[in-house]
Amino acid sequence: MPSTKFFHSTRKIIGAGVNYKEILRLTNAPKPDAPVIFFKPISSLLDAEPSTFVPTIRVPRVFGGVINFEAELGVIIGQRCANVTPDQAMAFVGGYCLALDMTGMDFIINARPKGLPWCLGKGFDTSTPVSRFIAVKELPNPDDVRVWCDVNGVRKQDDSTSNLIFPIAELIAYTSRFMTLEENDLLLTGTPAGAGPVRHGDVIECGLGDGLVQMRCSVVDE
């Protein structure tokens, strides 16, 4: 099963885009036929477990000093699985974490209409801060946990995973049809509405539930 420092042996990070109902409502977009899946490299991971220092998210020069914050529930795979059904999927969950999916949004916006990959906008160093490992018993109902995020003390995101378009079990089952999921792989379940830009000097605080876990990161120019 995953260790408390699960990211030391994470082999892949899988993200789900556009996965909250409120985002569809605000954009008047149709429900996707299937989860929108993308990858992030493991070199993007940043240990943001509370400590005596505030972890720093670095803004690459190529993004012009601006990146977007996206707070998410992360699911940590507990054992190898492939071609599982939604009914089977939760048995392969080893734990959870809080994560930020930092994004070069201008890059993504330019890539989308051209049908180009998102990886360069998603995969820069420090773009995936993660919290401590959360054991399954600490989060008995991951399908209804609050995800929130503040920037400089102002609330920007606040929603529940009960409003995911594709719940955790469906994300695991869908992804496992295409690739084997391995122990300590990290699945990011999507971010609520309200994600937006941050710049040098900004401070991001986010959390799961009412005190289950929190992270605080500062943003600095590369």
Q: Which domain holds residue 198?
A: 6-221
Q: Is residue 1 part of a domain?
A: no
Is-contact 16 35, C-beta < 8 A? Answer: yes
Q: What is the pTM for the complete model shown?
A: 0.95
Judge whether 142 and 134 are in contact, CB under 8 Å. no
**Residue 50 belongs to a domain:** yes
Question: Could you please report the per-residue DSSP string of 95-120?
Answer: EEEEEE--B-HHHHHHHGGGT---HH
Beta carbons of 217 and 198 less than 8 angstroms apart: no
Residue 11 sits in a domain whose CATH number is 3.90.850.10
Residue pair 222/60 in contact (Cβ under 8 Å)? The answer is yes
Domain count, the chain: 1
C-alpha distances out from residue 5 to 8, 52, 64, 127, 186, Å: 6, 18, 33, 18, 12
Residue 160 lies in a domain: yes
Domain presence at residue 39: yes
Provide the residue-wise pLDDT of the chain in tens; the chain has 222 residues.
Answer: 555 577 788 999 999 999 999 999 999 999 999 999 999 999 999 999 876 678 999 999 999 999 999 999 999 999 999 999 999 999 999 999 999 999 999 999 898 888 888 899 999 999 999 999 999 999 999 999 999 999 999 999 999 999 999 999 999 999 999 999 999 999 999 999 999 999 999 999 999 999 999 999 999 999
